[in-house]
Amino acid sequence: MNVTEHLLKHQIKPSVQRIAIMQYLLDHKTHPSVDEIHAAISLYIPTLSKTTVYNTLKLFADQDAAQMLTIDERRVCFDGDATPHSHFLCKKCGSIYDFFFQESAKDVMPQEVNGHEITEIHYYYKGFCKNCLNHND
Ligand SMILES: [Zn+2]
Ligand SMILES: [Zn+2]
C-alpha cells in the first residue's frame, strides 16, 4: 500500500512525520503503543515529540485511517488496519491479537440501534495467549 495515497484517501495531508508514523503502523501489525511508535521513529526523526505522535495517531483514528484500541487500560494502542475486527489481549504478556469476523463486517454491523447511529463497534476479548499457556511452570 502506498502510504501517501492512503493518507490522502482519508483527507490527511501527508507530512514527513505523518508518513513515517503511518508506515510504522502498516509495517508493525502488533498494535504498538504511542511509546513504542515514538521510540522507533525518534531514532531517525529526533525532533519528533511524543505529543506529536499521539496527536497524529488520534488524527488517523478520527479520519478512519487507523484505529485506536483501549483494550489495555495501561496504554493506548493503535492499529493500521481500520476495518472492523475484534481484538484479544493476553493478560500475562500484554500481546494483542487480531480476530477477524467470518462474514463481511458490514453485514453483521448494525447501523442503527434504538434511533442511535452506530459508527464504531469494538469487540475486546481478554485471557491468556497460547504462547504464555505453553510456557507455564
Ligand atoms: Zn501472552
Ligand atoms: Zn487489529
What global pTM score does this model have?
A: 0.85
Q: How far is the CA of 88 from the centre of ligand 1 (A)?
A: 10
Q: Which ligand is nearest to the CA of 81?
A: 2
Contacts of 10 (CB under 8 A, 6+ apart): 60, 63, 64, 65
Q: How far is the CA of 81 from the centre of ligand 2 (A)?
A: 6
Q: Which CATH number fits domain 83-137: 3.10.290.10, 3.40.50.2020, 3.30.1490.190, 3.30.56.10?
A: 3.30.1490.190
Task: Identify any residues that bridge with 89 across adjacent strands, giving them in sequence order.
Answer: 96, 126
pLDDT tens digit sequence for 11-70? 999 999 999 999 999 999 999 999 999 999 999 999 999 999 999 999 999 999 999 999
- The third-level CATH classification (topology) of the domain covering 1-82 is Arc Repressor Mutant, subunit A (1.10.10)
User: Which cell is 67 given?
Assistant: 484505529
**Ligand 1 ion: nearby residues, β-carbon < 5 Å:** 90, 92-93, 129, 132
